[in-house]
A and B are shown apart, each in its own frame.
Chain A
Amino acid sequence: MSNPMKNRYDFVLIFDVKDGNPNGDPDAGNLPRIDPETGHGLITDVCLKRKVRDYVMLAKNLSLEFDIWVKSKSLTLNEQIQRAYAEDDAVKKAVEAWKAWQKDKKKNPKPARHYEDVARDWMCRNFYDIRTFGAVMSTSDKAEKDGVDGMSKIKKTAGQVRGPVQITFSRSVDPIVALEHSITVCAARKADKPVESQIGIQGRKNTVPYGLYVAHGFVSAHLAAQTGFGEDDLNLLWDALCNMFENDRSAARGLMSTQQLVIFKHNSALGNAPAHSLFKRVILTRKDDSKPARDFSDYKLEINKSNLPAGISIIERL
């Protein structure tokens, strides 16, 4: 890892949607997610993580050390994978050393590191999403028959990698309304049926006319050290959060944009202030309550920079 991360970061991501469905709710026929008690819109953490992954896939083209483990087929970049997937020599050596020790514990020394740890490091080094968000891993074979490869005595364990980046559910600043639009099918899809019977069917589309959403996130320097998430990875994360909607256009999404990313940088790894006290400094207010908001310009964004706690600096990225 070049340039290890030495600071704790807490961030506020402000993004909006215009005439689109930012995150459908499978429980409600793909209507935009709504908190039933307050009417505020919700966007899940996994929805944003998917977009970060997709952005990094496009930006880094799955190059060495920036591959993505949890891929989406909608981005068919498979042919462009330039990396060799042969297992790392270090992992092979570690397994060999472990087997040798298992076979004859008197003659062969116990390896300093378990082969699973070596394999886990290899995964973290190669996959951006694993070293950023973590993953549940199983890094050994299923138990095979005795003596086939000496692996049967090795207990199958599933390790977990906790990534340094935590993202919360996003919530809209104001309650949202979900509009339902009927659309008409005008292209026949099946060649073996008469065209007349196939067109004119009504479809449905759900949109939010306008919604401004806020997500909170955290980056822990200690967990970054454990997965090898460095400063370059961090800058790529900031880029991804700012640009992830630019490469995620679709009929369903409407116009989504990151409006502001406010990063609180602590000058220490443990941090210099409680995260929630920093998040309170980002204030979004409606300029005119008499009419519904339809654009980011209908909101006023204030970042309270007075009496910042010592050791905190604010970075505004967009």
Chain B
Amino acid sequence: MAVRSASPEDIYATHPEKKVSLYFMVLGFIALTIGVIFGPFQIFNYADIDLYPALQPLFKSYYQGLTLHGVLNAIVFTQFFIQGSLLYLQARDSNVRPLMPVAWAAWWIALIGLALAAWPLLLNNATVLYTFYPPLQGHWAFYVGAALIIVSSLVSVFLSVEMWVRWKKQNPGKPTPLVTFMTTATWMMWGLAAIGLVVEAVFFLIPWSLGWIKGVDPLLARSLFWWSGHPIVYFWLLPAYVSWYGLLPRQAGGKLISDPLARMAFLGFLVFSTPVGFHHQFADPGISAFWKGVHTVLTMMVAVPSLMTAFTIAASLELAGRANGGKGMLGWIKALPWNNPSVVAQLLGAIAFIFGGAGGIVNASFTLDYVVHNTTWIPGHFHLPVATASTLTFFGIAFWLIPHITHKPLAAPRTALAGVWLWFVGMMFMAFGMHMMGLQGVPRRAHISAMSAVNDGIYASSAFYMVFNAIAGVLLTIAAVQLFYVLYATLFSRRRLPADQVPEIPFAEAISGPEGKNGVKVMDRLFFWWGAAVVLVLIVYMPTLVQLFIHMVPAPGMRLW
């Protein structure tokens, strides 16, 4: 049999959604490349090493860099990568082609939004951080650009739900395929979650930045922001779960334990992700302790599907390890494919998430939050779920998905492996340093390495933990160079794999499948569950939001940078 590499036209001809997915993912990675540059500078700042004078001509302040870091990494990279990868996985899993013109429209809206938002960010006209709390007022293009980026995500919600509905019509009575179920539930969850940000942007931030209204009520704006601000974290995480449940078991050499349990976890997220935002406002006056308590209880509820996931994934991996010949209590761990960067990236991400989850439960514990709120504990915490679990998993997905789409071999797999490990270890150092400094009261979002002489030395008691941050800075710089090198070397490679060596999509089989289970039928009614989520959100948000709407105290905008 003559093996021949496919020409680019052939590659895309059978599956045109490949191209739009690739475009989304690459745009996301470009954003990440720029956003991550500031990371080492920030962690050296928290080691009391000030490298910002070197950036001076291009970037005006620590805070401009921090705004770029938060926006490009957490908002742009995550969302674009998710739009690209989930679209493709769902299309292939259910064998339904997305509405291609709509998919391309989503990409163009995202690109235009990114360009609009980047312009004031790079010119130092929107140094308001990625939470952009009023009354700090950025340039209108920043808010319009950000709004377009969200609009693009809503188009992706439509694309996914439309594909799912089409599949349902063509397959009456059959259970939705697992990966399709998970991606559709993820997008539906985000469709409800995004409403807070949309309302904040459309009714307040955009009219305000254009000068049509004089002020914005900061508390109302915060409340709308955190309506989306918490579930956005699940929006970053669930695509990683899609891979852990739907693909990783097969990549590790085994099967998923239970398909119905995976669905149950995703339903838990669909229903409970959004009605919890007040755990970001425990320190806000103006929100009653009663409702803060209700959100606390619901936040704890969302921990349950993650704890479920921990079990199912670990059990699936154990079976995989045993299938590979691993014996004994821990032998199965050694028998996992530790030479495969895609698998290792995801495994290390999952391990980091254990610590991230524990910290998250602390943050969610209402009164305990006063110990850590707005200290370096918080970035120390969320670099575990987002910058490690999700980011490493997304790299792990890219390591097989980009070769799969482009037919280009993964460049330098050993470098990829080293980069993944270093990233994980570096993030662990950083998490330790930042968590501990937070307990000593060091504030987040602060250029502490450039404090004025009168305040010199007030954080000296954290000197020991600063050493961890400095080490993290070195490790993460090397890791970032390695990972981006592998990524771009793959993308720019001229080699094409022979058709029989192109990686397949590793959809995992389940040992306990969905067929004939009554629960699966009930869970398949996604619109019903989405409706339940809407009702829950209305119950926990309306009393407070209506009050705030009625008694608005608008504050004028300010630019203090």
A and B: interacting chains: no
Interface residues of A (CB under 8 A from B): none
Interface residues of B (CB under 8 A from A): none
